[in-house]
Amino acid sequence: MKRDKKIVLIAHCILNCNSKVEGLSQYRGALSEVVSLLMEQGLGIIQLPCPELTVYGVKRWGHVKEQFNTPYFRKHCREVFKPYLEQIKDYQAADYQIVGLLGIEGSPSCGVNRSCSGDWGGTFSSPKLEFNLNNVKSIDGAGIFIEEIREIFKEEEIGIPIIGVDEKDLKQTFKIIKGLS
Ligand code: SF4
């Protein structure tokens, strides 16, 4: 049987926007432009788990990076990634190529070059809450899940490019995806 032996890992919500915080999705189900392009490139697609959904569920509030920057969430990220690390090792040992991993820019978990930051926490009756909600900002740097994956790749000496999908400007993402295969 024919196969290209090329695989891409993608953030969960690229195939299933229902994992996002309610109100955040800019598409109905899957990010079809990205998925179609990956398929056209002959890439097999592995959907990573959503590290937020698997802790807080679909009814969670939006979070900022600071709230996930805990030993517990980092440990959770490593645990949910472990079965995928095993697959990566198995595929690579059998001469398959993992051409890249796609994250989601701006996410406190899956951001690659950009995440979001804010001084959040406490009760909803806190007088500080409105001020803090208005002061959430985009910051340089990866989200916590991607930070942990980078660290795991370093520990395991795995060289897979990690690419951020900018859902508001897909042109740059398309160029990078075209260069993957
Ligand atoms: S945590 Fe990652 S996979 Fe889950 S919704 Fe956010 S960006 Fe998507």
The alpha carbon of 55 and the centre of ligand 1 are apart by a number of angstroms equal to: 12
Q: What is the mean pLDDT of residues 117-135?
A: 79
Helix, strand or coil for residue 29? coil
Spell out the SS3 assignment of 105-152: CCCCCCCCCEEEECCCCCCCCCCHHHHHHCCCEEEECCCHHHHHHHHH
Q: What is the mean pLDDT of residues 20-26?
A: 89
C-alpha 74/C-alpha 55 separation (Å) is: 11
The alpha carbon of 65 and the centre of ligand 1 are apart by a number of angstroms equal to: 12
The mean of the pLDDT values for the chain is: 94
CB 62 within 8 A of CB 143: no
pLDDT for 24 equals 85
pLDDT for 133 equals 76
C-alpha 145/C-alpha 142 separation (Å) is: 8
The alpha carbon of 1 and the centre of ligand 1 are apart by a number of angstroms equal to: 34
Could you report the per-residue pLDDT of 55-86, keeping only the tens digit for each?
Answer: 999 999 999 999 999 999 999 999 999 999 99
**Residue of the nearest CA to atom 8 in ligand 1?**
13
Q: Which residues surround ligand 1 with Cβ inside 6 Å?
A: 11-13, 19-20, 50-53, 104, 107, 109-110
C-alpha 128/C-alpha 132 separation (Å) is: 6
- Nearest atom in ligand 1 to 19's CA: 5
pLDDT at 8 over 80: yes
For a ligand 1 pocket test, name from 107, 116, 166 the mutation site with the most ligand atoms within 8 angstroms of its C-beta: 107
The alpha carbon of 135 and the centre of ligand 1 are apart by a number of angstroms equal to: 22
Could you report the per-residue pLDDT of 148-173, keeping only the tens digit for each?
Answer: 999 999 999 999 999 999 998 899 88
Strands 6-10 and 44-47: parallel
pLDDT for 124 equals 78
pLDDT for 180 equals 83
Percent of the chain at pLDDT exceeding 70 = 99
